[in-house]
Amino acid sequence: MSARLELRDVSLRYGRSAEPALRNLSLSVEPGELVALLGPSGCGKTTALKIIAGLLAPTSGDVLVDGRSVLRVPPEKREAAMVFQKPLLFPNMSVEANVGFGLRMRGMPQAEIRDRAREALRRVRMEGYGGRHPGELSGGQQQRVSLARALVTEPKLLLLDEPLSALDANLRDALRELLREVQDEGAYTTVFVTHDQEEAVVLADRIALVTDGALRMYDRPEAFYERPKTREVAEFFGATNFIGGRAEASGFSVETSLGTLELAAGVPPGSSVTLTIRPEAVRLGDPRGGCENSFPARVSSATYLGTQVSYGLEAGGTSLRAALPPHARLDVGDEVDVCLPAGSLWPLGG
């Protein structure tokens, strides 16, 4: 049942004088893939979801499902199911009746509605709750019922608009696991809107990072950590280490305030370059241990974070951060040898 979804240069402007809510957004979602639309509040990600669902019409661009435009297809005929931030359940109906409501509107036989509603409840681990009413359920249980109501129609597109944002941390973790299990079992074409970076990384096959209505990067989760496209992308994913310099003739070394740093990824010779490296990739220790890029530094700060210690480092007028296990014991003022592995240094685009 899953379909291929494609957005082609989708833009939306609310009124003539307003800034565009979306700017030429283009991306594709393959059948059975879960894509997270990630970005800060007001960036346009929910607007994109509503355009996919048919709740908003774009100012320009197109939305295609299996290669066919659906712009003229009304929401109820797009074979898309949407789960919102709030459960939006009918309080006077039982859980089973809530789940089967969409099927009832389609005129499906009552026996089939009952069987499919119970199967949908099973998939979200709510067996035995069909006779209860929404007011008797916790917030997490209500959101599971909302998900079951979406799944029961066997949609081609499953659209999730921050469905976990109103839940506390423990419930969010449990429902993340459930959503990933449901996705793996049903192979839905799913678009998941979130402002939570961790949530996107845990759930998504690919992430579309959107800021100010524009797509900044679209790739697998690990690429945002290991190969960010720009400094903006790197900073959104928590990068703190940025080293400016100029590429040498080979394109695989950069002259910086820390000395000449060797790279595994080439850059245009002679170009100005900003390098980044994750704090957890910075190594401290003996410079004779085979590291391509090593230099002395002074520890300027130490912050205990439970699972790690974040150390500030100063070298050559450049500030860096290193994340080490808690058993590492360094004091402010200590002199240390720093290693930046070439394979962990990444040149950023403009």
Question: Phi first, then psi: what are they for 10, rounded to 5°?
Answer: -80, 125
Of the residues 232, 266, 283, the one at which a domain ends? 232
Tell me, yes or no, whether 283 and 177 share the same domain: no
Q: Return the ∠ at Cα 64 (arms to 60 and 65), rounded to 5°.
A: 155
pLDDT at 17: 61
Is residue 167 within 8 A of residue 143, CB to CB? The reply is yes
Supply the Cα-derived Rg of the chain in whole angstroms.
25
Number of folded domains that form the chain: 2
pLDDT at 288: 54
Q: What CA–CA distance (Å, rounded) separates 293 from 312?
A: 18
Q: What domain range is 82 assigned to?
A: 5-232
Strand ranges (E), the chain: 5-12, 22-29, 34-38, 60-65, 68-69, 80-83, 157-161, 189-194, 206-211, 214-219, 242-247, 253-256, 259-262, 272-276, 283-284, 294-304, 309-315, 318-324, 335-339, 346-347
Of the residues 232, 251, 278, the one at which a domain ends? 232
pLDDT at 289: 59
Is residue 228 within 8 A of residue 239, CB to CB? The reply is yes
pTM score of the predicted model: 0.89
Q: What CA–CA distance (Å, rounded) separates 287 from 281?
A: 15
pLDDT at 167: 77
Tell me, yes or no, whether 210 and 324 share the same domain: no
**How deeply is 49 buried, as exposed, middle or buried, from its count of CB atoms within 10 A (0-12, 13-18, 19+)?**
buried
Tell me, yes or no, whether 127 and 165 share the same domain: yes
Per-residue confidence at 274, pLDDT binned at 50, 70, 90? very high
CATH number of the domain at 189, please. Answer: 3.40.50.300
Listing DSSP states for 66-124 in one string gives TTEE-TTS-GGGS-EEEE-SS----TTS-HHHHHHHHHHHTT--HHHHHHHHHHHHHHT
Tell me, yes or no, whether 117 and 228 share the same domain: yes
pLDDT at 199: 92
Residue 309 has pLDDT above 70, yes or no: yes
Partnered with residue 142 across adjacent β-strands are none
Residue 344 DSSP one-character state: G
Q: What CA–CA distance (Å, rounded) separates 102 from 79?
A: 12
For 287-304, write each residue's pLDDT tens digit.
Answer: 555 688 999 999 999 999
Tell me, yes or no, whether 28 and 114 share the same domain: yes
Per-residue confidence at 20, pLDDT binned at 50, 70, 90? confident
| 96 vs 175: which has the higher pLDDT | 96
CATH number of the domain at 295, please. Answer: 2.40.50.100
Q: What is the mean pLDDT of residues 261-266?
A: 90
From residue 338, how far is each of 9, 78, 96, 322 by CA, in Å? 45, 56, 61, 9
Q: What CA–CA distance (Å, rounded) separates 165 from 41?
A: 12
Q: What CA–CA distance (Å, rounded) separates 317 from 314?
A: 7
Per-residue confidence at 110, pLDDT binned at 50, 70, 90? very high
Of the residues 183, 203, 232, the one at which a domain ends? 232
Tell me, yes or no, whether 224 and 299 share the same domain: no
